[in-house]
Amino acid sequence: MDDEIIPPVERMLAERACERIVVDFVHRLDLGDPGSVAELFTPDGVWHWPFGDRRIEGREALRAYFASRPADRLSRRLMTNILVTVESEAAARAVSYLTTYRVDGYSGGMTQPGLPANVGHYEDIFRRVEGAWFLAGRTVFLPFGGGTERLPGTDASPA
pTM of the entire predicted model: 0.90
- What's the N-to-C CA distance of the chain in angstroms? 54
pLDDT surpasses 70 at 159: no
Q: Which helix (DSSP H) or strand (DSSP E) does residue 83 occupy?
A: strand 74-88
For residues 131-151, average pLDDT: 94
Domains, the chain, ranges and CATH?
A: 8-150 (3.10.450.50)
Dist CA 59 CA 91 (whole Å): 19
Instruction: Judge contact between 94 and 100, C-beta under 8 A.
Output: no
Number of residues assigned to the chain = 159
92 has a pLDDT exceeding 60: yes
Beta bridge partners of 74: 103
Confidence of residue 62 (pLDDT cuts 50, 70, 90): very high
Query: Average pLDDT of the chain?
Result: 93
pLDDT at 152 (0 to 100) = 86
Q: Residues 106, 73: contact at Cβ < 8 Å?
A: yes
Confidence of residue 52 (pLDDT cuts 50, 70, 90): confident
C-alpha closest to that of 43 among 139, 138, 131, 129: 129
pLDDT at 32: 85
**Which of 142, 149, 145 is closest to 72 using CA atoms?**
149
